Amino acid sequence: MAPGVGPLPAALGPDAAADRSGGRPGAAADDCVDVVAALEPMLGAIPARSVVGIRAGLRLFEWTAFPWRFSRADLAARQDFLRSMEGAQAGWRRDLTLMLKVLSGLAYGNDPRVQRAVGYEARCAVNGSPAAAPAPAASAPADDAAPLGDLEPAGLGEECDYVIVGSGAGGAVAATVLAEAGHEVIVLEAGPYMDRRSYPEEPLAALRALYRDGGLTVASGRPAIPTPVGRAVGGTTVINSGTCFRAPERILDHWVREHGIEWAGHLDPDYAQGEEMLDVKAVDPARMGRNGQLLMEGAEALGVSHGPLRRNAGDCTQCSSCPNGCRLDAKRAMHVSYLPRAATAGARVRAGVEARRVIFDGSRATGVDCLAGGGGSSGVRARRFTVRARRGVVLAGGAFGTPELLLRSGFRSPSDELGRNLHIHPACWVGARFDEEVRGWDGVMQSYAVDEWEDRGVLLEATFTPLAFGGQWLPGTGIEHQERLLAFGNVASTGVHLSDRSSGRVRLGGDGALRVSYRLTREDGARLAFGIARAAELLYAAGAREVYPQISGIGVLPKARIAELESSPPPRPALRLEAFHPMGTARMSADPRRGVSGTDGAVHGAEALHVADASLLPSSIGVNPMMTIIAFASRVSRQIAERAS
């Protein structure tokens, strides 16, 4: 997959014992990138079912070249075979090639020698200089080495007024409100605590440490859509882009009319409070970097609506490490904003504690059974750990974790809506190569938006993806791909985000593990193609030489073929999508027949059990949902506190 071109090192061949040089003439084994060794630790962090699928795919790929085996062929034959597979008529052949390309690309782009050859460097800066991170809140625990206090679960269990499962945008806000109202609060987080002093430097290590399933949580369907979520103290806010939107008025009005959430039309104070807490500011177009500026210039050339994004990173002017944790903690994720405030009010945060079952006494939730202290590479076996809650349980594990926990606990929603109504904002990375140097990593990762087509559910955001995650999306294989990779500094990229009418479901498999499925409708597939076409027009208007649409079988989209793409959308399985905003799986509704939770967050059919996370959102929101999660969690937790008093 990577024979080595110019300063780029070769990857070790598929049979390392027989081909220690990767097939590149004159290359020594020590000069090559061992992608297999780099991937092995990551595979240990993903679900066993996914590992089985990857192994089966690799075996199929190995023998697709029958009567000879891919790993036994010489370099030239392997390259010819890869080229034929990527351009094959059969979609399964292209999908196999993409799987191999993504896996090898993750490991290859993770290597410092590759990054040096490309000129890539992950850095963060505030006001143009790599300043120190913001100090913890003045009233936070004094020990800067432990800004949230003792994170270790004590003994075999603890007791509190409210136990909150999850420490992301919903759980951290709920913890703050309830603790400041005088309640004894414990926050449970399955992942570890990390901050600017301990985030992994390497992207692959960050996937293992900070993401659920090693970043390979996938919504199955045609196409399958990777939907990564965080698994760390602070939840997904630790690894997201930091983009802050308020929900569009039409969405809030819909929730008032269709779901009886009267207060959804009066969220301005909640939004404002969250924005002040997180130091939300608009990105400065003059300092956001060329990636955002090129989208801006394309929008100006076409005369469409556009503007800078607002982020929870104050005066950040450079951020290329967001998916691995902000190296300055300038991004005000929950572990450096709300959670220190909650800890000041007395909340206890427990890291490395996986909630396994909600404890019920009849219909009343009285606590959570957990596993604590295990996992990872420590070899330590997890122990049972129980938290008893005198007043109630608040679920904030996200749109995957909350229904997963309730289903595992044997709870059945009267509406039968639990786990249903999953929306994810399916998205597509559209890249473009320019004559000029872009160096997207020198600017703000997600910086600028075009909202001209919001009425069609399409939002375009200038988003530059780090090398290890974005390099494999460049078209071509072998030498052709490596030549494009060398020009990564001339690549700009834009995300096409869809406010989806399609939906999916969260279930448990026969082994008790999470299963996520999603059915992309024909209409949504056409709207994504429309969005890709608009992104291509914008990038060409800004001066792009070629555009990469992420559609199987179309490596490069010429300007002359944009209209054809729109008039004849590709088959849905040909779309190469990702998603980052799961929501809706414990939908809020005043009508118990239509939702899982009431307008106070209380779970229909249960007592002393509430939800305060993205799973509450009744429908697709169409924009990055973090601020709306915060607003909803604030409303729900205030109602809990008022009722308790």
The gap from C-alpha 145 to its chain's centroid, in whole angstroms, comes to 28
Show the DSSP H helices in 35-74 as ranges. 35-43, 48-64
Is residue 529 within 8 Å of residue 563, measured between CB atoms?
A: no
Rounded to whole angstroms, how far apart are CA atoms 479 and 93?
A: 20
DSSP 342-397: HHHTT-EEEESEEEEEEEEETTEEEEEEEEES--TTS-PPPEEEEEEEEEEEEE-S
The H or E element that residue 95 is part of is helix 91-109
Rounded to whole angstroms, how far apart are CA atoms 121 and 313?
A: 20
Find residue 369's DSSP bridge partners: 357, 386
Annotated catalytic, 581?
yes
Rounded to whole angstroms, how far apart are CA atoms 3 and 13?
A: 9
Sign of the Cα torsion 271, 275, 277, 278 reads positive
Is residue 365 within 8 Å of residue 389, measured between CB atoms?
A: yes
The beta strands (E) that lie in 166-221 are given as 185-189, 218-219
Rounded to whole angstroms, how far apart are CA atoms 269 and 249?
A: 15
Q: Which of 356, 458, 366, 434 is nearest to 401 (CA)?
A: 356
Residue with tokens 């929501």: 583
Rounded to whole angstroms, how far apart are CA atoms 78 and 71?
A: 8
Rounded to whole angstroms, how far apart are CA atoms 604 and 360?
A: 14
Q: What residues have CB less than 8 Å from 284, skipping those under 6 apart?
A: 308, 315, 317
Rounded to whole angstroms, how far apart are CA atoms 443 and 527?
A: 29
Rounded to whole angstroms, how far apart are CA atoms 404 and 336?
A: 27
Rounded to whole angstroms, how far apart are CA atoms 337 and 360?
A: 32
Sign of the Cα torsion 432, 434, 440, 441 reads positive
Q: Of these residues, 183, 259, 306, 581, which one is catalytic? A: 581
Count other C-beta atoms under 10 Å from residue 104's C-beta.
20
DSSP 500-531: -S-EEEEEE-TTS-EEEEEE--HHHHHHHHHH
Is residue 462 within 8 Å of residue 292, measured between CB atoms?
A: yes
As annotated, the active-site residues are 581
